[in-house]
Chain A
Amino acid sequence: MKRAFPILAVLTAALLSYGLYAALIVAPTERTMGDVQRIFYYHVPSAWTAFTLFFLNLVASIVYLIRRNPKADALALAAAEVGVVFCTVVLVTGPIWARPVWGIWWTWDLRLTLTLVLWLIYVSYLMLRRFSSSGQTPVMAAVLAIFGALDVPLVYFSIWFFRTQHPQPVIGGGGSIDPRMWQVLMINWAAFSCFAGLVCWSRYHLEVVSREVEETQALESLLEAGSSR
């Protein structure tokens, strides 16, 4: 596994740089929005990556609750942390794109609100992990992840109704997408997924190793206390 890491890193770097080149040069300019639309190639793949990571966090949390495997908990933590970073990228690039196109920074649209609520839930998840004493953290965090997942459909329906009752925001309708744009989007999505996987993997290993170190230190201090007596 360790040998695969540099290979994946090189692949990710290549994909990311090609993705940037494709997004800025290869992809055709959008007719009405102009060059600002190119943020799309970063915004959308980040969103997909963030949602994938949150889903991974949910699965790892459930696995942890059933099997009580500390590695599942470490994976849940890594996925949540990296997911929050990608979700932040989505929430920052969104308004930058919205301002010149819709004329507003933010609107309480279905997808925007859902992303924001997910971000809030996962930030509270990370806060809980930070503030609880180490022994109980994994169980409580896993339970909170399940509560967050149960909340998603309810948020969806509430915002959906909230918005159908109030005036609809100015949003680009469905419409089809240029196949070249689609291609660039897919390249960027692959690059972002690889990047997220890479970061997640190193974070996971870091977590596992730091827990091993903590355990060893605790054991050593126990032994010392025992021998000095």
Chain B
Amino acid sequence: MSSGITRATLAKDLRLEWRSKDAINSMLFFALLVVVIFSFSFDPTAEESRRIAGGLVWVAFLFAAVVALNQTWARELRNQVLDAYRVSPAPANSLFLAKALGNFIFVTVLEALMTPLFMVFYNLRALGPAYQLLIVAALGTWALVVNGTFFAAMSVRTRSREIMLPLLLFPVSIPALLAMVEATSSILTGEFSARFWIVLLAAYDVVFTVASLFLFELVLQAE
């Protein structure tokens, strides 16, 4: 691993995104649509919405994140940048880390912008310890993004790129998604402690970050 390469790639991706705003715009509009559609298809009371909001928020973020994740590597196919990465002596896992961090930043920005909207539409107020929501958000976003970035590198090499990513990502993400939803609901309703779910999310993050860093070289160099 080399932190210089990670930093350079991350800076390049952030600059690209800052100038084009492709990923963030499509994600934001997509998430907004999901919020609006959910909001009038359920039309819940405050008490109900507290119980279902955890699920709605994370499903919306998951779908929106897929939009950004699909662009991670697709962007590098133009002008054969991906091939250039493969022949360069730069370690593959520092490249992966840069991409995952970039996606983490994009999805976090999305969440920061969408959460107030969710609170307005669903009339939400946490009854449990609200600061834990920040921990859940950070761990949950990393869980989605680390596997998402990894599987996006796989799906970009298949025939039907855009469709393949959710097909690979969703089954493996089931425990993380369950943990995020349950933790968020526990905090919002204040009925249960979210501690177990936070520990599970942390374990999920550690396991898949390590696995991705070890196995990314194989995926990048697969011929």
- Give A residues with C-beta under 8 Å from B: 65, 117, 120-121, 123-124, 127-128, 131-133, 135-136, 139-140, 143-144, 146-148, 150-151, 154-155, 157-159, 161-162, 165
Contact = CB atoms under 8 A, between A and B. Distances in A.
B100 to A, nearest CB: 15
Binding site secondary structure of chain A: helix
Given A120-B174, A162-B178, A131 B158 contact: yes
A128 B178 CA distance: 24
Contact of A139 (B159, B179, B219): B219
Given A136-B222, A136-B223, A158-B200, A131 B154 contact: no
The 8 A-B pairs with the shortest beta carbon distances in the complex, nearest first, are: A120-B171, A139-B222, A154-B175, A136-B222, A158-B175, A132-B158, A131-B158, A121-B171
B192 A146 contact: no
Given A128-B164, A154-B200, A140 B207 contact: no
B126 to A, nearest CB: 19
A159 B175 CA distance: 8
A123 B170 CA distance: 12
A163 to B, nearest CB: 11
Interface string B118-139: 0000000000000000000000
B159 A131 contact: yes
A216 B179 CA distance: 50
Contacts of A139: 218-219, 222
Interface residues on B, range: 20 to 34
Nearest to B166: A124
A128 B168 contact: yes
B204 interface: yes
B208 interface: yes
B109 to A, nearest CB: 27
B172 A133 contact: no
B167 A143 contact: no
A162 B211 CA distance: 26
Contacts of B197: 161
Contact of A154 (B158, B168, B204, B222): B204
Nearest to B210: A150
Contact of B211 (A120, A150, A161): A150
Given A133-B158, A140-B222, A155-B174, 12 more contacts: A120-B171, A127-B168, A133-B159, A135-B222, A140-B157, A154-B176, A154-B200, A154-B203, A155-B175, A157-B200, A158-B179, A161-B200
Given A124-B167, A151-B175, A162 B208 contact: no
Nearest to A144: B168
Contacts of A127: 164, 167-168
Contacts of A165: 182, 192
